[in-house]
Amino acid sequence: MDLKSLLRKCASCSNDRSEVHLPRPKTENELFSQYYNEWKGKDNSSVSYQAIPKFYHKIPKEEDTLLRKLLEESRTLFLSRRNRQIINNDDLKALWRLFNAHYTPPLMPGEDKMINYEDYLKVISFACPNVKLYLTPKVFGKMLKQDPYGRISISDVFTYVMRKVWLLQSRIGLSLYDLTGQGFLREQDLGSYILEMTPSLVVGLEKSFHSFYQCTAVRKFFFFLDPLCTGRVRIQDVLASGFLDEINELRSEDMPKNLQANWFSAPSALRVYGQYLNLDRDHNGMLNRKELAGYGTGTLTQVFLERVFQECNTYGGEMDYRTYLDFVLALENRQEPQALHYLFRILDINGKGYLDTFCLNYFFRAIQEQMALHGQEEVSFENIKDEIFDMVKPEDPTKITLQDLLRCGQGDTMVSLLIDLNGFWNHENREALSPDAGDDAAEV
């Protein structure tokens, strides 16, 4: 064979080898999936496994503009579809007319109209499709009481429907501010909802105060519904808390007479913010311990105030308005579990989760010092200690836990005995201050 034919043969062999495709090496993720499935004994080739749809989708990041827009549009469409299921006022009026036309006799004088199950089904058959979603057999069974004719009150059913409609409307309204669609609201989200829900509440107030009103209103939600300080609250908890009912009272035509008692009213917000400004003597927008000592009647002990600044968020040893609002909510609602949790954390100087005789004596000594300054007769700590343990009745006779305070129902009284001279004095003179004592003295 000549040289020319040999070269041609070699060239043809190299061309054949170049057409052979070598297998691509597996990536790290592919190898991990292979070994993991072999270890778990799973076979991804199963038909049933491949038919399972994907049920979890990660929340798109802020830089993913397109995915964020898709999430927002899909959530808006879903909420609009749910909003179409809400009963409007005309449907509610038609439902009330149906109930009055199909009530079940006899009608007893002074009692509401009643309806049995047969007439209840008639009302459902004549009602519009959206109303039928609320009038179910389960609802009738829950409202059935000891009526000899097996009837339920028409007004109770109608009130139930109206309440469900209001809850659904509120849920949809709150969900519009839930940017991620996870069922949670941040402080700025809830604040925007409150201001847009009740614009009449801030009418007449200076625009510079609107942000402080927003902070005041939102802080109550987060103080009671976010005990772990996660920075967000569940929409379900907001609906179940009853705070939206207090806001709706301010929107009704029949305004409550005592607006100061409603935390969300403008007079109440002005009162709280005005107190904060009056305490801020150096006008730096923050409160130090000496300034906070003037809160209320000025009878809070210095030991308690020191612990407040040790446990709460401060900035350079001073308290801002948000921290002050938590302080006010805790003291004005001492009987509530969230307030007792806030105050118990301050009283627990050792951080052990319980109060012993040393903790009680540590705080009560400040009460004794204030009594001496006012020329009052000193009260023995042993007597107060025995009274506190008799009042709380803890499971461990030497320790008082937070659960003991919540269970006894007198946690607010016990806390007042240790932190506030005025609260201690009111407890010690409770018999003389009670109205019944005054009537007895008059009779004598």
Please report the domains of the chain, with CATH numbers, ordered by start residue: 89-172 (1.10.238), 181-279 (1.10.238.220), 296-434 (1.10.238.10)
pLDDT of amino acid 255: 66
Sequence letter at residue 392: V
Which range scores top for mean pLDDT: 31-35, 39-43, 377-381?
Answer: 377-381
pLDDT of amino acid 441: 40
Q: Tens of pLDDT along 186-229?
A: 999 999 998 888 777 777 678 888 899 999 999 999 999 998 88
Mean pLDDT, all residues of the chain: 87
Phi, psi of 53 (to 5 degrees): -75, 160
The DSSP element (H or E) to which 90 belongs, if any, is helix 89-101
pLDDT of amino acid 117: 94
By residue count, the chain amounts to 444
Distance between CA 36 and CA 29 in Å, rounded?
Answer: 10
pLDDT of amino acid 260: 80
Distance between CA 140 and CA 296 in Å, rounded?
Answer: 51
Q: Tens of pLDDT along 247-274?
A: 888 877 666 667 788 899 889 999 999 9
Distance between CA 320 and CA 97 in Å, rounded?
Answer: 55
Phi, psi of 111 (to 5 degrees): -115, 160
- pLDDT band, very low/low/confident/very high, at 243 (cuts 50, 70, 90): very high
Distance between CA 13 and CA 109 in Å, rounded?
Answer: 110
pLDDT of amino acid 21: 55
pLDDT of amino acid 14: 58
pLDDT of amino acid 444: 33
33-70 CB burial, b ≥16 within 10 A, e <16: eeeeeeeeeeeeeeeeeeeeeeeeeeeeeeeeeeebee
Tokens, residue 147: 């009526």
- Please determine, for residue 159, whether its predicted confidence score (pLDDT) is greater than 90: yes
Q: Tens of pLDDT along 43-72?
A: 555 666 667 777 777 888 878 888 888 888
The DSSP element (H or E) to which 233 belongs, if any, is strand 232-234
pLDDT of amino acid 52: 76
pLDDT of amino acid 443: 43
- Please determine, for residue 39, whether its predicted confidence score (pLDDT) is greater than 80: no
Q: Which of 29-38, 183-192, 304-313 has the lowest mean pLDDT?
A: 29-38
- pLDDT band, very low/low/confident/very high, at 440 (cuts 50, 70, 90): very low
Angle subtended at Cα 143 by Cα 138 and Cα 146, rounded to the nearest 5 degrees:
125
pLDDT of amino acid 94: 93
pLDDT of amino acid 435: 58
312 Cβ contact partners less than 8 Å away, ≥ 6 residues apart: 319, 323, 326, 327
Angle subtended at Cα 37 by Cα 33 and Cα 43, rounded to the nearest 5 degrees:
115
Q: What is the DSSP letter of 300?
A: B
Q: Smallest Cα–Cα separation from 380: which of 343, 428, 415? A: 428
